[in-house]
Structure 1
Amino acid sequence: MKKIFLNAFLLFFVSYSVIASSIVAVVNDNPISAYDVENRMNMILLTSRIKRTEENLSDLRNKVIEALIDEKIKLEEAKSNGISLNDDEVNNAIYKIEQQGKMEKGLFRTFLEMNKVPPLTIDNFIIPDLSWYKLVAKKFSNEAIISEAELNAEIEKIEANFKKDRNLISEIFLSVKSEKDEAKVKQKINNIYKELKDGADFGVIAKNFSESITSINDGNVGWVNVGSMEKPLEDALKDMSVDDISKPIRSMYGYYILTIKDKRKAYEGVERLYSISRIVYEEDKEQEILDKVNSLDKKTCNAFNDYAYSFKNESGEMIVSKLEDFPEEFKTVIEKMKTFDVSKPFEFDDKKNILMYCKDETKFPIPDREVIRQAIASSRLEQIANRYFRDLKRNAVIKVK
């Protein structure tokens, strides 16, 4: 009997030891196992083309453990606030990933299983962040109400950016904290560059290896005006085309690798509408018409337009998107005019013409006001969420083994 009890105790002790040794971190009594870490690493390696070098695996393991810790905190907080997800929400999020990878709907889990990665690894990756976003929206939506003044200011900013050359940039950044780190960091960034040139996914590399805050968004910096970045970065960007990947760039604080996702020239896509009012008449009535035009209120085009339409011919308002689209005779006259100026009579198609420059309107290709409002609100919610999460993590009990 004692022998049976001893064997049972030893079996329990060995099992407990194996389980305990497989725990790599504990977050508020919630364990993270080596199995969790391995599955996440395998999924990342499988979908990113990152090579399984000793250095890559070590760096990736640390990043994955940190990510799993953050996810435990987010999921615990979401659950404590009554947040839950249904299957459709999870499946739709996975479908977006499948679309990005140009994969047929519903095949991602199968793809993982075929490569000996548990299919639910992708669910475990998606559920914490999806739950967190629902929680943040539930708790803080009232703090992200955007006023008309804020909306108008943002629209002005967007329009101003259309007047400059811009690049849509993503980055990978490794910091150099001291001289003794220089050689090691340089070697590491060169290895990352080689991985990228061999086909590794830029966004996945940025998410798992970059030290910049943009790693949260796969390294996406967003639209950046040409000339607004540090000189070594600008020097590299000026010779790059869309989808090019820069060689490692030494900056003041470390090394960057940049890629350009898109480029826009100043005023690209911007439409300028010219509104000109025109009176067409026979020469024998010129003095009578000039006297009438001189008597009109010229603070707006209204009176001139009304008079022009009274001729019941081709007289009236002309709206043209480009100055070059006007007949050459008109263009020569309009180029010398300012708003509400009235031209001297000139000939066109054997008839006399008088023009009034009503306005020119710059039409920027920007989204609808409500779309912009939602984007500002989302950005504000993200800032609130970051502060909220920092407080949660500061107060969490985290033990990494």
Structure 2
Amino acid sequence: MKRLLSGSAALGAILVCALGAPHALAQQPEVVGTAPADAPAAPARAAPEGLSESVAAVVNDDIVSTYDLGQRMRLLIATSGVQPTQENLPQFQREALVSLVDEHLQFQELRRVEKEQKIDIVADDNDVNEDIDDMAKQNNMSRDQFLAYLASRGIGADTLRQQLRAQISWGRWIQGRYGSRLRVGDDQIAAAQALLAAQASKPQYQIGEVLIDANRVGGMQQAMAGAAQLVQQMQQGAPFPSVARQFSALPTAANGGDAGWVSPGEMPPEVEAVLEQMRPGQLSQPIQVRDGVYILYLRDKRAGGSAELVNLKQAAVALAQGASADEEAAARAKLSGLKPQIKDCATLEATAAKLPGVVAGDLGEAEVADLAPQFQDAAKKLKVGEVSDPIRTSAGLHLVAVCARRAAGGGIADKEQIERRLRGQQLSMIARRYMRDLRNSATIETR
């Protein structure tokens, strides 16, 4: 890529355009369901009366105006949930400019293909309107209300339409050109199944993910700096899904970064090392990997598939560790008489409450391996609904009932799920390489 850098002379004008109403932007509610940032740029449009316009970039002779750049910055701010500050405005400008440059490259490539192959690829207005209707519905609005909402924040409808038109068109082209050619072999699926089976006993993680593509934003240093700013904004309240939709280079960006449940072996080693140390509800610091920088949000964590979970209830008589043999015998006789009266878990507590000195309660769900040694044997042997004989602990005597039993984890993905996941990963890699090649062969001048 031939890229001629000539400073940021237009930044002042762009900031005026992007932040004409900073207080309104800072207080707006989250807008969900927006497209990922990699979508096509509109042709240069006339700036509003009284607002000067200049050239922000030239992409193979196509012009990106400062008005287009300011509009895209507004859209990013409105849809990412990140509050604009003097510190993060350069990041918004950089992301907006990169997106617009990529979109021009995508449109140029699509027009070339359409001309050569005499096919229609670029999405029409009906396709774009369907996406806008979906976005409006997610925000409990009609299309007109949603566009009016954006207009009230200084965002023209054409800005959103062009972003969506590029996203739809480029996705359609990548899927059409490469989707039918991708072949996920049985050996690949078998290898993935073997890996998942080998890791089944380890914890699984439900995560949200963002990847800042270093090649796309100008290098690893830029990616790390941008990721650090996004982490700071999310710690201050910016919604993770909105940030993922606008900044992530992964396919999960369209779903707000939701990657579902992942097992060890499915993520880069650097990412897994951090996941192992996180607790549900935590947001990671930037994690550098080969192609960029990850940000993780750990939604939940569960035990591995080989672990056994039981739900227990108990009826107990308090008994000091040094109680006499007569006291222990009396307590044992009381619980032994209670046991046949307990018909099921649902009535255990009510039945036990009829006997003075007996305390009953729900012990909740736990891994069998984590139970007190005295309870483990009973938890392993009892069927669901069965009640143990009295069990002696340092606190007293206990009747334990197993109310439910299940294997931990979510099971190993079937062949179809694994094939779909592998195809998605391959298609995403192809799309990123395609864009890298377009950038490298382009002449791009930013001013």
Structure 1, gaps ≥5 residues long? 1-14, 176-183, 272-321, 329-360
Q: CA deviation at 1:192?
A: 4.6
Instruction: Specify the alignment match of 2:422 in structure 1.
Output: 376
Q: Does 1:42 align with 2:70?
A: no
In structure 2, relative to structure 1, the CA distance for the partners of 1:147 and 1:121 (3 Å cut) is: same
Whether the 8 Å CA contact 1:109–1:120 is kept in 2: the answer is no
Q: Aligned partners of 1:116, 1:147: CA distance in 2, in Å? A: 50
Letter in 1 for 2:73: M
223-232 or 137-146, larger mean C-alpha shift: 223-232
Kept in 2, the 8 Å contact 1:95–1:105? The answer is yes
Number of the residue aligned with 1:233: 274
Q: Deviation at 1:70?
A: 0.9
Question: Which position in structure 2 is the counterpart of 1:138?
Answer: 176
Tell me the SS of whatever aligns to 1:266.
coil
1:145 is displaced (CA, Å) by 2.1
Q: Which residue among 31, 36, 58 is the counterpart of 2:90?
A: 58
Distance in 2 (CA, whole Å) between partners of 1:105 and 1:268 is 48
For the 8 Å contact 1:169–1:224, the answer to whether it is kept is no
Give the partner amino acid of 2:112.
Answer: S
Structure 2 unmatched ranges of 5 or more? 1-46, 115-120, 214-221, 310-379, 387-406
What is residue 336 of structure 2 aligned with on the other side? none
1:75 and 2:114 correspond:
no
How many residues get paired?
289
Q: Which moved more, 1:33-42 or 1:112-121?
A: 112-121
Distance change (3 Å), C-alpha of 1:111 and 1:366: farther
Post-superposition CA distance 1:222-249 (Å, at most 9, x none): 7253995479835750xx224x335x47
Amino acid at match of 1:59: Q
Asked whether the equivalents of residues 27 and 69 of structure 1 are also in contact (C-alpha less than 8 Å), the reply is yes
Question: Mean Cα displacement is larger for which, 186-195 or 367-376?
Answer: 186-195
2:434 aligned to 369, 382, 388, which one?
A: 388
Q: Which amino acid letter does the alignment assign opposite residue 89 of structure 1? A: D
- Give SS of 2:181's match: helix
Which residue matches 2:128?
A: 90
Q: How does 1:323-338 map onto structure 2 within 5 Å?
A: 325=383
Structure 1 length normalisation: TM-score? 0.57
Q: What is the DSSP-based 3-state SS (H/G/I as helix, E as strand, rest coil) of the residue aligned with 1:245?
A: coil
Give the 5 Å matches for 1:108-257: 108-170=146-208, 192-205=230-243, 217=253, 223=262, 225=264, 229=270, 233-234=274-275, 236-237=277-278, 240-242=279-281, 244-246=282-284, 248=285
Change (3 A) 1:393 1:256: closer
Q: 1:173 to 1:55 in 2, by over 3 A?
A: farther
1:260 aligns to 2:295 (yes or no): no
Shift of 1:128: 1.4
Paired with 1:164 and 1:221, the residues of 2 have a C-alpha distance of: 18
Query: Cα offset for 1:66?
Result: 0.9
Q: For 2:193, what is the secondary structure of its paired residue?
A: helix
Matched, 1:29 2:61: yes
| Residues 273-292 of structure 1 mapped to structure 2, 5 A cutoff | none
Q: CA RMSD in A?
A: 4.6
- The DSSP-based 3-state class of the residue aligned with 1:26 is strand
Against the structure 1 CA distance between its residues 323 and 116, is the aligned structure 2 distance closer, same or farther, given a 3 Å change threshold?
Answer: farther
Distance 1:376 1:155 in 2: 12
Distance (Å, rounded) in 1 between the aligned partners of 2:52 and 2:264: 52
Cα distance in structure 1, aligned partners of 2:183 and 2:257: 28
CA distance in 1, matches of 2:165, 2:300: 31
Shift, 1:30, TM fit? 1.3
Quote how far apart the aligned CAs of 1:169 are.
Answer: 3.2
Q: Could you tell me how far 1:170 is from its partner in structure 2? A: 3.8
Q: Deviations over 1:354-399 (max 9, x none)?
A: xxxxxxx999645664444333223222222222222221111111
Q: Deviations over 1:243-288 (max 9, x none)?
A: x335x479899997642133232118999xxxxxxxxxxxxxxxxx
Residue deviations 1:94-130, cap 9 Å, x none? 345456x544453432321232211222211122122
- SS of structure 2 residue aligned to 1:262: strand
Please say if residues 136 and 385 of structure 1, whose CA atoms lie closer than 8 Å, have aligned partners that are also in contact. Answer: yes
In structure 2, what residue type is equivalent to 1:400?
T
| SS of residue in 1 equivalent to 2:201 | coil
SS at match of 2:445: strand
Distance 1:399 1:188 in 2: 22
Instruction: Name the CA distance, whole Å, in 1 between partners of 2:183 and 2:273.
Output: 39
Contact between 2:77 and 2:92, CA under 8 Å: does it hold in 1? no
Give the direction of change, closer, same or farther, for the CA distance of 1:22–1:220 in structure 2 (3 Å limit).
Answer: farther
In the alignment, is the contact (CA less than 8 A) between 1:25 and 1:31 conserved in 2? yes
CA distance in 1, matches of 2:197, 2:189: 12
How far residue 61 of structure 1 moved from its aligned partner, in angstroms, is: 0.3
Q: Which amino acid aligns with 1:241?
A: P
Aligned-partner SS, 1:54: coil
Task: Select the structure that is richer in helix.
Answer: 1
The 2-side partners of 1:185 and 1:379 are apart by 21
Specify whether residues 224 and 257 from structure 1 end up closer, same or farther in structure 2 by C-alpha distance, changes over 3 A only: same
